[in-house]
Amino acid sequence: MAEHTVVRNPNGASRREPTRNGKFFSPRVDIFETESELLLYADVPGADPNQIDLRYERGELVLQAKVNAPAPQGQPVLQEYETGDYFRVFQIHETIDPGRIEAEYKNGVLVVHLPKQESVKPKQVQIRTS
């Protein structure tokens, strides 16, 4: 597995650091919890959905995505768009059902659904009256 380092600038923004395997970016992520699942939103702008590798292995969710340079549209005047790979690993708690993990990609955002196992979901207890 490739190693990566993310450095925070004084203003709090992250930037990529070179590693032995090239440039990697750590995507910004938001995670929300509902009664039935965790929702992970990862920013991977510019990634081709066919080149996003999302896999669960040995208790970890691994996200890798490739960002290619945009096709040139003339003579460059200013170039700030960097290319490289996104890479991030998340430890997944045992309460998540790995067989039901799903993901969707739209407008540069990867949404990963991490469903909770049935045994850990809250259950309503019926109260009998006599």
State pLDDT tens for residues 36-80.
999 999 999 888 899 899 999 999 999 999 888 777 888 888 877
State pLDDT tens for residues 98-115.
999 999 999 999 999 999
Q: Give me the pLDDT at residue 96, please.
A: 93
Domains, the chain, ranges and CATH?
A: 17-70+83-118 (2.60.40.790)
Integer Cα distance of 34 and 22 in angstroms: 37
**3-class DSSP state of 13:** coil
Sign of CA dihedral 43, 107, 45, 98: positive
